[in-house]
Amino acid sequence: MNLKESIKRILREETDIPLKIRRRILPKLIENAFQTALDDNTLLKTKPGSMLHKASFITFANFVIDDMVEYIEDQINMDGNSYYYGNDDAYIEEVRNPLLKHYGDRIKKRYDDIVRGDVFESVLEEETNPIVRKLFRRGGADKFNEIFESGLEAIANRYIKNKDKWYSMTLKTFRESVIPFVIVDLCTTYEDVCTSGDFYEQTLDFLMNNYSDRIKEKWEEINNINESVLKENRKSKETISDLVKEFGLSETSSMVGLPISQIVKISKHPINPGIANEILIENMIKGNIIDNYKEFIIHASSNGVFYWETNTRTGHFSNDRVEQITVAATPFWDGVDYTPVEIDWFTLYDKDMVNVIYSVGGEGDYFSKFTHQTNFETVEELNDWYNEVYLPGVYDIIMNKLLPKLYRRVDFELNPR
């Protein structure tokens, strides 16, 4: 095949390279331009303090493409026109976007390798997790990620094949299935490292801190499949909406094995205070909503009470005193149209939390009614309310209304005049 035919073939096959570049430049020059631009920008991406060091993928990719076009223009005069310095909109539409489409996958691979390398280096420098450091040194970040993804897919497929488990799966149970499975695979792959006494605890800690978002992403993907399959496969007389109308939300949830929040989503049932209370309790127990705010840990008891708990130093007492605070703040408790916020128990300890200096129960003396929105159109709106209104609102009442009142009592009884 002669040169002319070769160029024609390139023009036919590589149609996503901009026409005005393909017509003027041999493929080898285009490839050289790409490699040079990619390598130059990789150096900047990995150099701390450079303009690209913390750049997103699209920023990195645009720099590569721009430098690639500039390189080409240095090698050949394209009819005296400068496509790199030409009209911005035209350049992006006619040159940058087609080149990004053609080279995007290769640029993304280099970018991901750099990011993984950053993770790899940070793990190697982290002195508090020697087990994970050993694992990364043995196989690198790529191998670690490969084992994790393999375990994630295996558990996801197991749930998908077993519909009973699939319908009742929560984010918490999914996470608790994935992480031990991955740890077993890591232990099998690196048997000598696995013999270390703290292998499970340190690997568990690393996976929880670095892979929770990826697990949640997979869980949500399965949930979306779950909803669509369920809606497609049920006969018309047994649709979720019909079941809700006949049996109610709670009974329908039990019958089909789906959480109440999913039933509400599918049936588009309006959310009143009573339903909001059920959804939030369900999601708190299953670990699907935020369970901490500032210094407080939040959890739901077996009877559906939301407790805010903390061991802290608020600054009211001296630094050798620790305050143990428990507050009950259940949104829409028992279906009411507000949130009752009440200090349940307060204990003042010495700095080692061994000796009790003062302790008192709330006994209804430290109570406030938090009024707010009461009805919601979607579960997403309810979740936004929980994050943006409930959490900061309850915290403000605790810190600025209830505790100051309680402190006056503690101060008086510890230092009576």
What local confidence, expressed as pLDDT, does residue 403 receive? 93
Whether 406 has a pLDDT exceeding 60, the answer reads yes
pLDDT digits over 53-63, tens only?
A: 677 778 888 88
List helix spans (H) across 126-198. Answer: 130-161, 163-168, 171-189, 191-194
Task: Find the mean pLDDT for residues 72-99.
Answer: 65
CB-side exposure of 60: number of CA atoms within 13 Å?
29
Radius of gyration of the chain (CA): 30
Average pLDDT, the chain: 78
**198 or 20, which is more confident?**
198
Return the exposure string of 308-326: e unless at least 16 CB atoms fall within 10 Å of the residue's CB, then b: bbbeeeeeebeeeebbbbb
Q: Token match 């909406």: residue? A: 241
Whether 378 has a pLDDT exceeding 90, the answer reads no
Neighbours of 259 (CB within 10 A): 21
CB-side exposure of 201: number of CA atoms within 13 Å?
6
The DSSP annotation for 196-242 comes to STTHHHHHHHHHHHHHHHHHHHHHHHHHHHHHHHHHHHS-GGG-HHH
When mean pLDDT is compared across 18-32, 223-237, 317-331, 353-367, the lowest value belongs to 223-237
Q: What percent of the chain has pLDDT over 90?
A: 18
When mean pLDDT is compared across 26-35, 144-153, 183-192, 383-392, the lowest value belongs to 26-35
Identity of the residue numbered 269: H
Identity of the residue numbered 57: F
Residues 6+ apart with CB under 8 A from 263: 240, 244, 249, 252, 253, 256, 269
Q: What residue spans define the domains of the chain? A: 3-125, 130-233, 287-414
Whether 81 has a pLDDT exceeding 60, the answer reads no
Give the span between the Cα atoms of 290 and 283, in whole angstroms: 9
Q: Which of 105-109, 189-193, 219-223, 232-236 has the highest mean pLDDT?
A: 105-109
Whether 216 has a pLDDT exceeding 90, the answer reads no
CB-side exposure of 383: number of CA atoms within 13 Å?
12
Global pTM? 0.48
Strands 321-329 and 338-350: antiparallel
Give the span between the Cα atoms of 296 and 323, in whole angstroms: 12
What local confidence, expressed as pLDDT, does residue 166 receive? 45
Tokens of residue 375, six digits: 């009805």
Q: Which of 8-17, 121-130, 273-282 has the highest mean pLDDT?
A: 273-282
When mean pLDDT is compared across 14-18, 52-56, 137-141, 185-189, the lowest value belongs to 14-18
What local confidence, expressed as pLDDT, does residue 65 receive? 85
Strand extents, DSSP E, 9-68: none
Q: Which of 13-17, 296-300, 363-367 has the highest mean pLDDT?
A: 296-300
> What is the length of the chain?
417
**13 or 136, which is more confident?**
136
Task: Find the mean pLDDT for residues 136-161.
Answer: 79
